[in-house]
Structure 1
């Protein structure tokens, strides 16, 4: 039986409830997925496995190609998209920031168990690229034991974190308290309708100054920031087993089609594809009788 050629356009998600701090995404035809500028709550590291793509990271824009690793801090806005519809493929690993912080602290790389952004955005080192691919292959292999997968992740990240610690840059300009408080407010009330006028009253900024200043520090306008948080909440609700309709409503989208369109634009997968990957993970993890 021949393989359906459309299957390559579907992203593959790997998760294991016994390793909740890590998940992996594999895309074999990056031409089929295009991202709007967005951010993740997790720290992310991706490997370009074929072709080339454009990597936009905050205010920087560059080209990455097969053999490159891209490193993305939590809540840093980014997008990685095809160049002139040329083929490219990638693997993306999402790591819980608190878990990674604890690992770095245990390794003696942090003075306090508090997250510190990593200044390096691109690693072009064949050794770490090949080791990354080996780790990903281990995670995707259903025949590998849980202990092997746990060891593969810890060993790889421990080695990489030691190298990155030696390249630590000066800290970025701190976010003004008033903007940090506004961002925290948008985090807490992401599902609510918050007008620009209300944001201006809370910050004391004019609308134009607020949009410009907020975007300079968070790389998104306040409204785009809130939409990004809604999609993150929608992902969380889908992971909890909620239906697409419930996830849309809980995350602040009263219109399910709007949720589906926005989810696809940010995640480069439909809510159903994301949800089906969760269901298939549960089947794989179920004990054999």
Structure 2
């Protein structure tokens, strides 16, 4: 009997990602199968061998693999000890359907920067409450994937501009407590979501999710010094839970919410 696999799977609250799948397989071999979504795969340990459209490919830890929807493929370990992988199943709206054929021809993407961005996206998805950050990272990943698949026919990127950056900042200021999705912002501002991320980051030197988190932490500081308890503050300013609040507060302020609140009780 083979070793029991170590698997974690969930559906994040991030539009465009149908499923996140993390697995460590010692001896599992996938039969030929298909998915309705784009399969974005990175391998952290070992190597995966697979057949796609009757051609054999390999997925070592240094590359990103993109398998198109509805195209049969299999997969098994190409190294002793199995493999550890992380997979994102991307909704078909994330990548132009016209690129399926190109993905069949070139499923292996040797791009260290893309590999890093996919890794960062996975790490963000593991933290409930950071959905805007995940949406921003997904937008940049999808853009880079499309760039690889278009090859010598790239879509010209939109030039970031100040007007859309300030418009997004105003929108975030209005909704930083309840939050908003990147798609909602794009629809209200009539701009592509990737353009929003790039324009904002270029103009202000931080990503939209960093700005939103900073606004929440700033309000939390005032509430804590005003005597409101930490759990109530977390809910009031829009954090997912106390752990989410504490992690971001400490990263921004340099100390925990509890310690910060206690300093407000001192006499000066």
TM-score (norm 2): 0.50
Distance 1:78 1:36 in 2: 8
Distance 1:81 1:140 in 2: 26
C-alpha distance after superposition, 1:160-188 (max 9, x if no partner): 212321257xxxxxxxxxxxxxxxxxxxx
Distance 1:39 1:20 in 2: 19
Q: Which of 9, 12, 16 does residue 12 from structure 2 map onto?
A: 16
Aligned residues: 151
Distance 2:38 2:14 in 1: 19
In structure 1, the partner of 2:141 is 156
C-alpha distance after superposition, 1:205-255 (max 9, x if no partner): xxxxxxxxxxxxxxxxxxxxxxxxxxxxxxxxxxxxxxxxxxxxxxxxxxx
Secondary structure of 1:40's partner?
coil
Structure 1 residues 9 and 152, CA gap change in structure 2 (3 angstroms):
same
Distance 1:167 1:93 in 2: 26
Secondary structure of 1:45's partner?
strand
Q: Is the contact between residue 14 and residue 139 of structure 1 (CA under 8 Å) also seen in structure 2? A: no
In structure 1, the partner of 2:120 is 134
After superposition, where does 1:1-289 map in structure 2 within 5 Å? 9-17=5-13, 19=15, 21-27=17-23, 29-83=24-78, 85-97=80-92, 99-101=93-95, 104=96, 115-117=98-100, 118=103, 119-142=105-128, 144-166=129-151
The alpha carbon displacement at 1:78 in A equals 0.7
C-alpha distance after superposition, 1:37-71 (max 9, x if no partner): 10101111101111112121121113321112111
Distance 2:91 2:59 in 1: 24
Gaps of 5+ in 2: 154-239, 243-268
Secondary structure of 2:65's partner?
strand
The higher relative CO (CA closer than 8 Å, separation ≥ 6) is in 1
User: Rg: which structure is higher?
Assistant: 2
Secondary structure of 1:61's partner?
strand
Misfit runs of 4+, over 6 Å: none
Gaps of 5+ in 1: 1-5, 105-113, 169-286
Q: Aligned-residue CA RMSD in angstroms?
A: 2.6
Q: Is the contact between residue 16 and residue 94 of structure 2 (CA under 8 Å) also seen in structure 1? A: no
The alpha carbon displacement at 1:76 in A equals 0.7
